[in-house]
Structure 1
Amino acid sequence: MSLPPSLPPSLSPSASGDTFRRVHTWVFDLDNTLYPAHHDLWGQIDARMKAYISDLLGIAPEEAFRIQKDYYRRYGTSLRGLMIEHKVEPAAFLAHVHDVDLTGLDAAPRLAAAIEALPGQKLVYTNGSERHARNVLGKLGMDAHFAAVHDIVAAEFHPKPTEEAYTRFLSAHGVDPARSAMFEDLARNLEVPHRLGMLTVLVVPPGQTVAARESWEFEGREDAYVDHVTEDLAGFLETVAEAAGN
């Protein structure tokens, strides 16, 4: 695991009240965004992907992990790379990697209330599966607050951060990018939304503690396409709701 670079200072949402008043659609990534990155969910998913690739290709786990991360970087998701390079059936892959233990994931009533208080529609946009997203949202106690989950199947397996993935998402849900905000834990997934006109918010864990990440996954954190940075998503959204007129 690599340590993240230093982050730019967080921009106060209250200082840009008019900016957030124009937002009608609030779009949230799922993993390591709507729940803290210190939970082991992503670690479980990562390990299950490695095991799947190892079994699929008959290779050592270390080589499977190298391929997994190489495909993730080049194709947006490891699944996309496996589909292109090895003709993998996506449904079986998604069912396997998302068969994780959610026991340690607690409800997040403060965050749920902050999301509920936002004006307009709320959507989840994930490179994972809808089933996984619904399971996680149910544990967090916020499933009812989202109008829809846009998953990798709905995206026809075109993953973030590609522009095609975002344009498909915007079209599918009738989202006006000029009136929307995107919340993500990976800066690279905010570049296209920013270019399309969305406000962008990078969600990072307190004290720079992160789930297992490659060094390249920290790239872009200091770039201009990151409009806001927050270590406290619930607190940020509470301030945003107030700034937006609630």
Structure 2
Amino acid sequence: MPPQHDPDVWLFDLDNTLYPARCNLFAQIDVRIGRYISDWLKVDAEEARRVQKQYWREHGTSMRGMMSLHGVDPRHYLDYVHDIDYSPVQPDPSLEASLAALPGRKLIFTAGDVPHAERVMERLGVAHHFEAIFDIVAGEYWPKPHKQIYEQLVYRHGIDPARAAMCDDIAVNLKPACDLGMRTVWIRTDESVKRAEGLDLDHIHHQTDDLATWLADWVAERKVKK
């Protein structure tokens, strides 16, 4: 059952949520991950790719597998894989306007790290709307949808889940948020829809392929009700 109160805290995923999937930053990151694994393990690109995907399946992220099995320093790893070209991300006046009109606290909840999030938000022109970034480091390098990092986020930032909403492009990442009592907003992309095929989506309260417009409509509906 959805929460009974309108949210006064909004949690936003970063990649493919605050900026459009067509920017395709992860394609660059994916290449960098492969190179990192290839260099670290001294294997060719094909073997690195196999290891990358195996660790992703078995450990949640390739980084977690490299940390657990090969003693990789996660900070070194994150700095390397996020050394990318951010120019595909352009300023987004519509998102800026929607965030400005949206009441309540706003936080970033990302599987990337703080420097990556800051560079993206600088490009978008929306950094001033967010009071904090809860990143992979804050979650002790555990990725979504591990339940404990949602609990850490709620505790650290004094959030009442029943008064919170979470926006994410990956449907399974919204399940722990729903279980805690949050309202959930699924950002549909071609890739995220494919990944959600066959899944039970009862934990999704709202869905959209345009976050800025959805937020603007949300605010407008509440003004009408008042």
TM-score by length of 1: 0.84
Change (3 A) 1:166 1:159: same
Of 60-69 and 185-194, deviating more is 60-69
- For residues 122-169 of structure 1, what are the alpha-carbon distances to aligned partners after superposition, in whole Å with 9 as ceiling and x for unaligned? 000011110000000000000001011111111121221100111111
Q: Per-residue deviation at 1:66? A: 2.4
Relative contact order: is structure 1 or structure 2 higher (C-alpha 8 Å, sep ≥ 6)? Answer: 1
Divergent runs of 4+, >4 A: 18-21, 219-222
Contact 2:187 2:209 in 1 (8 A): yes
For 1:122 and 1:20, the matched residues in 2 are separated by 20
What is aligned with 1:85? 69
What is aligned with 1:239? 217
The residue type equivalent to 2:141 in the other structure is: F
Partner residue of 1:53 out of 29, 37, 56:
37
Q: List gaps (5 residues or longer) in structure 1.
A: 1-17
For 1:243 and 1:71, the matched residues in 2 are separated by 44
Q: Per-residue deviation at 1:34? A: 0.7
Change (3 A) 1:159 1:91: same
Partner residue of 1:223 out of 187, 195, 201:
201
Of 229-238 and 53-62, deviating more is 53-62
Contact 2:3 2:163 in 1 (8 A): no
**1:131-146 alignment to 2 at 5 Å?**
131-146=115-130
Contact 1:41 1:102 in 2 (8 A): yes
For 2:32 and 2:219, the matched residues in 1 are separated by 38
Residue 187 (structure 2) pairs with residue 203 (structure 1): yes
Q: Per-residue deviation at 1:242? A: 2.0
Q: Per-residue deviation at 1:104? A: 2.1
Change (3 A) 1:224 1:127: same
Q: Per-residue deviation at 1:232? A: 1.0
For 1:54 and 1:130, the matched residues in 2 are separated by 25
The residue type equivalent to 1:149 in the other structure is: I
Contact 1:163 1:192 in 2 (8 A): yes
- Percent identity, aligned pairs only? 43
Partner residue of 1:76 out of 47, 52, 60:
60
The residue type equivalent to 1:125 in the other structure is: F
Change (3 A) 1:45 1:20: farther
For 2:199 and 2:128, the matched residues in 1 are separated by 31
Residue 167 (structure 2) pairs with residue 183 (structure 1): yes
For 2:174 and 2:125, the matched residues in 1 are separated by 26
TM-score by length of 2: 0.91
What is aligned with 2:141? 157
2:167 aligns to what SS in structure 1? strand
For 1:58 and 1:70, the matched residues in 2 are separated by 17
Q: Per-residue deviation at 1:220? A: 6.3
For 2:145 and 2:7, the matched residues in 1 are separated by 21
Contact 1:48 1:96 in 2 (8 A): yes
